[in-house]
Amino acid sequence: MSIVTVQRRVLEKNDEIARCNRAFFAERGTFVINLVSSPGSGKTSILERTLEYFSGRINVAVIEGDVQTDLDAQRIARYRVPVVQIVTNGGCHLEAKLVEDAMANLDLHGVKLLVIENVGNLVCPSNYDLGEAMKIVVASTTEGDDKPLKYPGMFRHASVLIINKIDLLPYVSCDINMLKDNALKINPSLKVFRTSCTTKEGIDEWCGWLEQNLSKP
C-alpha cells in the first residue's frame, strides 16, 4: 500500500509540473510532441527526416533524452536547430521536471514546434506527462506485430502511431496489417502512418499531417 501511495505522489507532482510546462508552451505558441518508442525503432531517424521536411519552413527545437551519451543530440545539431540533451544516467524515462530544467537552456522564441525525443522504452514513459500536446509512438517492422498487445499503455496514451522501417518488410516476420489492427484494438482513435527513413516513403504524409496540426489553435 505504501508503494502505491509513493508512486501516486510522484505522478501527482509530475502532473503538476507538466501542467506548468503546458502553460509555458502555450504562452509561446509552441506545439510540443513527445516521441516515444522502444530502442532501435528509428525515433532519431524519424526526427531527422522531420527536420529535413520543415527546414526553411518553420522553426523547430529539440530536447533529446537518453540514458547515456549525447550522440543523438550530435546528430540533431547537424540540422542547425536548437537542441538540448538530457542524460538520465540510467533513468528509463523523462519526467516533467527534467523538461522544465531543460527550458533554461533552450530559447523558444519563434519556435513553432518542439520535439521531445524520450528515452527508448515502451513502459515508463507512458505514465509521465511532460506537458506535450501529444505522444507519438514509433514501432518498427523489425520488432514484430505484437508490440501493441505487449505494451498497451503506451499505445493507449498515444495520438499517433508511426510504423517505421517498412522497406524491411520483405525480410522480417511482421504482418503490418496485424500490427495496425492490434494497435487500433488498444486505441481506436490512433492516427497511423507507415514510413521508411531509408526510402523516405510516408515521410511527407506524416510531416504534412503534423504541419496541419501546428496551425490549429
If you average pLDDT over residues 97-103, what whole number do you get?
A: 95
Q: What percent of the chain has pLDDT over 70?
A: 95
Please give the helix or strand (H or E) that residue 36 lies within, else none.
strand 31-37
Q: What angle do CA 191, 192, 198 make, to 5 degrees?
A: 140
Nearest-angstrom CA–CA distance, 191 and 136: 10
Domain 2-214: CATH superfamily is: P-loop containing nucleotide triphosphate hydrolases (3.40.50.300)
Q: How many CB atoms lie within 10 A of CB 70?
A: 16
If you average pLDDT over residues 47-75, what whole number do you get?
A: 91
Whether the predicted pLDDT of 88 surpasses 90:
no
If you average pLDDT over residues 49-69, what whole number do you get?
A: 92
| pTM listed for this prediction | 0.92
Which carries the bigger pLDDT value, residue 178 or residue 71?
178
Q: What percent of the chain has pLDDT over 90?
A: 80
Nearest-angstrom CA–CA distance, 210 and 115: 11
pLDDT in tens, 109-151: 999 999 999 998 898 888 899 999 999 999 999 999 999 999 9
The residue extents of the domains of the chain are 2-214
Q: How many CB atoms lie within 10 A of CB 5?
A: 9
Q: Determine contact, residues 161/135, Cβ cutoff 8 Å.
A: no
pLDDT in tens, 170-214: 999 999 999 999 999 999 999 999 999 999 999 999 999 999 999
Nearest-angstrom CA–CA distance, 54 and 51: 5
Average of per-residue pLDDT values in the chain: 92
Q: Determine contact, residues 18/96, Cβ cutoff 8 Å.
A: yes
- Take residue 60 and report the three cell numbers written for it: 523547430
DSSP H helices, 83-214, are 96-102, 147-150, 152-157, 176-186, 203-214
pLDDT-based confidence at 1, cuts 50/70/90?
very low
